Chains A and B, each alone.
Chain A
Amino acid sequence: GENVEQHPSTLSVQEGDSAVIKCTYSDSASNYFPWYKQELGKGPQLIIDIRSNVGEKKDQRIAVTLNKTAKHFSLHITETQPEDSAVYFCAASSGAGSYQLTFGKGTKLSVIP
């Protein structure tokens, strides 16, 4: 089955700096890669996703890159703000017929004012 590794497990940045979280996956058939943000006491919320036919996707301060050859994808947050502090999860889905998302173990991001 799919295995998703996520690094780092914790990340502290100064407000205004950039943050990068990296994930690797094992199943070359995986073709959908969402990122979720989870605030304390709440359920995960999708912030951005990318499909395997795209190498990069941006949404304001957030971007995701995908390298299918190396089987890794990354989340980039620029100009970080205190409200970006949360736990971030990457996930991978194996596509056709698969309803399962395999999640990484999460990265706790702290943005220091």
Chain B
Amino acid sequence: NAGVTQTPKFQVLKTGQSMTLQCAQDMNHNSMYWYRQDPGMGLRLIYYSASEGTTDKGEVPNGYNVSRLNKREFSLRLESAAPSQTSVYFCASSHGQNQETQYFGPGTRLLVL
């Protein structure tokens, strides 16, 4: 089992460019999450998908969109990147009910110039 995988590992964008961060899990989990991590800020939830076909906003959703493509895959899209979106992005998954362990991917480092 690979667990949670993310692509790309690192990306540099210019302001205004768009990109999609990909996430996949092979643990047959129902729920998936996108977080961003900034220095001194901990992990903040951007969007989550409680189950296939549903998505909901987290704490910091502005400037992002998500797609739950199927049970395995959950993508995060930046339509018009801004320097404030420079961050490390983590995808996570869990079995699906509340209180369940979230398993994290290795992260995508994004630099917006």
Contact = CB atoms under 8 A, between A and B. Distances in A.
Interface of A: 1, 6, 9, 31-32, 34, 36, 41-46, 49, 51, 89, 91, 93-101, 103-106
Contacts of A6: 42
Interface residues of B, number: 26
Contacts of A42: 106-107
B34 to A, nearest CB: 12
B47 to A, nearest CB: 11
B31 A45 contact: no
Given A32-B99, A43-B104, A45-B104, A101 B90 contact: no
A43 B105 contact: yes
A13 B45 CA distance: 31
Contact of A97 (B92, B98, B107): B98
